[in-house]
Structure 1
Amino acid sequence: MIDEFRSAGGVVGGDFEGVPLLLLTTTGARSGEPRTMPMTYLRDGDRLVLFAANGGRENHPGWYHNVLASPAARVEVGTQTYDVTATVLEGTERDRLWAEQLERTPYFAGFQERAGRLIPVVGLTRTEG
């Protein structure tokens, strides 16, 4: 999927056709190596928002642990690539964005039910420079 995303300017087919996707590159919390993952996202003004749903699994996804350890990351959106800083969103801000994601992508409600944990919401803010 990563190769398809990059070769087609951020567009993929199959199950993800029409779904807003980005590539997130984090630094591995244990390995220190770069890790790239395709992810769905929500745009909130100038910020991109990710949801650590992990498909409804009990544990948080690896990328979430990576941004907790090192919030500096890189995103590829369409044909743009830039650095971001990740921030875990909480309280009413988290709840507002989660509700918006559920409205746009109702199947995320099933992730919450299966996970048995509060799904973290992470904002990505473009790093200047």
Structure 2
Amino acid sequence: MSKARLPPRWFIRAAWKVHRGLYNTSGKGLSLPRDKKYGLLRLTVIGRRTGEPRSVILGYFEDGPNLVTLAMNGWGAPEPAWWLNLLAHPDADAVLKDGQLKVRGRAAEGEERQRLWARWQQIDKNLDAYADRRPRTTAVVVLEPR
């Protein structure tokens, strides 16, 4: 499979900072998922080393009452810090465009993972090519209301 084209890593990281800054200064930048488009949420987790709150903006879609995202770190090799923090402290807070939700995070496995991955493939036609850039399997993260 050919590799899908991505912007340089420095550009991806800069875009994250700009998006986070936009949200922090204006409260704008979140969106609801639509048919073939993911939404954007703000997830706050507890740092595994510091015990301090850490926030990140993530793409997601809804699966019944659950929110589903990918632990993909801009398709770079390392696991995203928010995912490592969520593994250590599964309880988190999600801010959506239409409200807040207390959630508990976990990795989807087996048939559930396959089903949710297939849903992401409908949203992003380059998903498999992007995932092939990573040296490990990309976790499909389920955020369940608590």
Tell me the CA shift for residue 74 of structure 1.
Answer: 0.3
Match in the other structure for 2:58: 39
Match in the other structure for 1:73: 92
Contact 1:10 1:79 in 2 (8 A): no
Unaligned residue ranges in structure 2 (runs of 5+): 1-18, 32-36
Q: RMSD across aligned C-alpha pairs, in angstroms? A: 1.8
Match in the other structure for 2:105: 86
Which of 133, 138, 145 pairs up with 1:119? 138
Contact 1:57 1:111 in 2 (8 A): no
Unaligned residue ranges in structure 1 (runs of 5+): 12-17
Tell me how far apart the structure 1 counterparts of residues 61 and 136 of structure 2 sit (CA, whole Å): 21
Q: Say which SS state the counterpart of residue 118 (structure 1) adopts.
A: coil
Deviating above 6 A after TM superposition, structure 1's stretches of 4 or more consecutive aligned residues are none
Q: Say which SS state the counterpart of residue 132 (structure 2) adopts.
A: helix
**TM score, norm. by length of structure 2:** 0.75
Tell me how far apart the structure 2 counterparts of residues 62 and 9 of structure 1 sit (CA, whole Å): 21
Amino acid at match of 1:2: R
**TM score, norm. by length of structure 1:** 0.84
Question: What per-residue deviation string (whole Å, max 9, x for no partner) do you get for residues 50-109 of structure 1?
Answer: 111112222211111011000000001103012101111111101110111011112322
Q: Taking every aligned residue pair, what percent have the same amino acid on both sides?
A: 33
Match in the other structure for 1:14: none
Q: Say which SS state the counterpart of residue 137 (structure 2) adopts.
A: coil
